[in-house]
Amino acid sequence: MRRYSAFAIAREALRHHQGWERAWKSPAPKESYDVVVIGAGGHGLATAYYLGRNHGIRNVAVIEKGWLGGGNTGRNTTIIRSNYLQDPSAAIYEKARSLYETLSQDLNYNIMFSPRGVMMLAQTEHEIRGYQRTAHANALQGVQTEFIGPQKVKELCPIISLDGPRYPVLGALWQPRGGTARHDAVAWGYARACSDMGMDIIQQCEVTAIRSENGQVSGIETTKGAIRTRKLAIVVAGHSGVLAEMAGFRLPIESVALQALVSEPIKPCMDVVVMANTVHGYMSQSDKGEMVIGGGADGYNNYTQRGSFHHVEETVRALVETFPIISRLKMLRWWGGIVDMTGDRSPILSKTPLGNCFINCGWGTGGFKAIPGSGWAMAELVAKGEPGPLAAEFGLDRFREGRFIDESVAAGVAH
């Protein structure tokens, strides 16, 4: 694989850009692999990448029903933060955030990481106490956050209205090293690196059955034929329950749609990410000038990958209270993604009742920010057969034993 660089761009410009290679190969599946990863979204590709980079396992196939990055990875709003309350959550999200900082260099692919900072507004006295508690917890966890007052909020985001008619801004939990990245570039960068290591990325290939022998996974059936494997990693977000049923077990998750929209592009007016849990919305501005807007997940189970007008109306109405400047903007497009929710709003990275079958799911509304950390932890779990420190608390057995990692407040608004 040729490295991307300014010199490469100049060289190819002189050649009328005729010498660029394909970013990744699209081979036919082989008969067998050491590891098969189901799901070519960010988490699945990151799992494959760190299997190769950290553990030297490169006889790997990544199987995708649709196209690479066509699920939640290409449908989210790109927020990256790690200011979670519980220690296991803060550890894995902070690992992901720190990996994002050097990911462009690691992958030799510009993921457009922008550490612009993330503010979570406190608009009630209860939220002030909650965010101050989180700031103290983050200090003990080594995560850089602070609680700031209304004037600092206004200084960081001049377009905000501090004196809302219902919910004035009383302060915010501020993480200056949070931010955003380009969602599809993350998937493309990981895919390119995986392909360069000799891994097979097989798109338009639906898994129709999971095979086992003597309680151990033995392979999968797909629309492109049977594939044998020693180990299987299921990383398919909202469709995790479907694949788990194929493998013979059930998951404590539910799938719902999460909607978002972008406005028409406007001149730069906001260079931070703002989340407002009380009014249930969040907003940032993209590099193209669009206002990226989202809110909570749908209130009912579904697999819909499109928006609905009543949800958009509810989210925008809430945000207009805090950002009156956006009231006259036109909506450019809106969409939905399928997220998988656990009861404690924390993910599952775990062994399963089927031997050598592992699952990564339950990230809910916060999957994008976790991609590098999730892939790092999942690769260690698959390679060693046992969870490392990042994944140890996120096993399936916690639901049976009552060891919940309650992040229902930190994950209370889509992000």
Mean pLDDT, residues 32-45 taken together: 97
CATH number at residue 194: 3.50.50.60
In the predicted model, is pLDDT for residue 413 greater than 80?
no
- Of 294, 323, 341, which residue constitutes the final position of a domain? 341
**What percentage of the chain exceeds 70 in pLDDT?**
98
Residue 92 and residue 30 share a domain: yes
**CATH classification of the domain holding 144:** 3.30.9.10
- Selection from 360, 372, 375 nearest residue 96 by Cα: 372
Which amino acid is located at 169 in the chain? V
- What are residue 254's DSSP bridge partners? 341
Q: Are 362 and 340 in contact (CB under 8 A)?
A: yes
pLDDT for the residue 411? 54
- The per-residue pLDDT for range 277-292, each reduced to its tens digit, is 888 889 999 999 999 9
Flag the least confident range among 111-115, 279-283, 331-335, 411-415: 411-415
**Residue 395 and residue 290 share a domain:** no
Q: Which residues pair with 360 in a beta bridge?
A: 349
Residue 305: band (very low, low, confident or very high) from pLDDT cuts 50, 70, 90: confident
Mean pLDDT computed over 253-281 = 92
Helix (H) or strand (E) holding 141: helix 125-141
Which domain range does residue 188 map to?
26-82+84-109+183-254+344-401
| CA neighbor of 350 nearest in space, from 303, 386, 310 | 386
Statement to judge: residues 267 and 379 lie in one domain: no
Mean pLDDT to the nearest integer, 16-45: 94
Does any domain span residue 10? Answer: no
Distance separating alpha carbons of residues 74 and 402, to the nearest angstrom: 34
- Compute the C-alpha angle 186/79/316, nearest 5°: 130
Residue 4 lies in a domain: no
Tens-digit pLDDT profile for residues 96-140: 999 999 999 999 999 999 999 999 999 999 999 999 999 999 999
DSSP H helices in 282-352: 309-322
Q: How far apart are CA 270 and CA 256, in angstroms?
A: 30
pLDDT in tens, 341-370: 999 999 999 999 999 999 999 999 889 999
Indicate whether 247 belongs to any domain.
yes
Count of structural domains, the chain? 2
Chain centroid, CA 131 distance in Å: 23
Element housing 242 (H / E) = helix 240-247
CB-based burial, 34-67: b 16+ in 10 Å, e otherwise: ebbbbbbbbbbbbbbbbbbbeeebbbbbbbbbee
Output the pLDDT for position 41: 95
Model pLDDT, residue 409: 62
Q: Are residues 380 and 390 in contact, defined by beta-carbon separation less than 8 angstroms?
A: yes
| Same domain, residue pair 337 and 350 | no
